[in-house]
A and B are shown apart, each in its own frame.
Chain A
Amino acid sequence: EVQLVESGGGLVQPGGSLRLSCAASGFIFSSYWVHWVRQAPGKGLVWVSRINGDEINTNYADSVKGRFTISRDNAKNTVYLQMNSLRAEDTAVYYCGRANSAWSIDYWGQGTLVTVSS
């Protein structure tokens, strides 16, 4: 069974940092790209970042570029999202998701809440 489990969310002050983890199981992890998508309270889905299976090729939304870093450890079947210089507008539930070959996310984690507030 394919599973993705996020962790690492919590309350952080503006300007602070947080690292999210996405632990995967049930599939050949290194063969799949992984996306991060966030959803602010009461709002819609917003794409954040993506990493290829090779651990090298990445991309970011303009709103997080230069502040967030995505990485993965294929030996640990885990993707990370390092979030620095956090702002109030980064407050959201962060989901990780496995990408299929058609730019879709076919499996999603349950999400982890990040709250940026003083």
Chain B
Amino acid sequence: QSALTQPASVSGSPGQSITISCTGTSSDIGGYNYVSWYQQHPGKAPQLMIYAVSNRPSGISNRFSGSKSGNTASLTISGLQAEDEADYYCSSHISSGTSDVVFGGGTKLTVL
């Protein structure tokens, strides 16, 4: 199955808000409310930021929010901070004969 589609990069200034999109199909994002978002700093393991489209795990700042419309999910980060600079990946459960989960290609967030 093809990876979910994310922009390669986004940028914003401290204090601003940015949104990262993640486009799939009716077999993944559009078919389930199982979209997740992960943050990954260089050389580190990914960290779960959002699950089930819009839920934050314990300890994750409320500056991070998620939403979904049709086959596209979005991650919004408000009040950008320098430490938000990282790679962000979306994922979704997929109804496929083989795979369980499909990831997006990743988006590099640069805080200017």
* Band of interface residues on B: 20 to 34
Q: Does A88 contact B (CB under 8 A)?
A: no
Cβ B45 vs Cβ A44 within 8 A: no
Q: Determine the distance from Cα of A37 to Cα of B3 in the docked complex, in whole angstroms.
A: 14
Q: Which of B48, B100, B101, B104 contacts A106 (CB 8 A)?
A: B48
CB of A60 within 8 A of chain B?
yes
Q: How many A-B residue pairs have CB under 8 A?
A: 71
Q: Is the interface of B mostly helix, strand, loop or mixed?
A: strand
Check B106–A102 contact: CB distance below 8 A.
no
Contacts of B3 in A (CB 8 A): 44, 46
When each residue 67-105 of chain B gets 1 if its CB lies under 8 Å from chain A and 0 otherwise, what string results? 000000000000000000000010111000011111111
B residues 32-68 touching A (CB-CB < 8 Å): 32, 34, 36, 38, 40, 45-48, 51-52, 55, 57
Q: Give the B-binding residues of A (Cβ under 8 A).
A: 35, 37, 44-47, 50, 59-62, 65, 95, 100, 102-106, 108-111
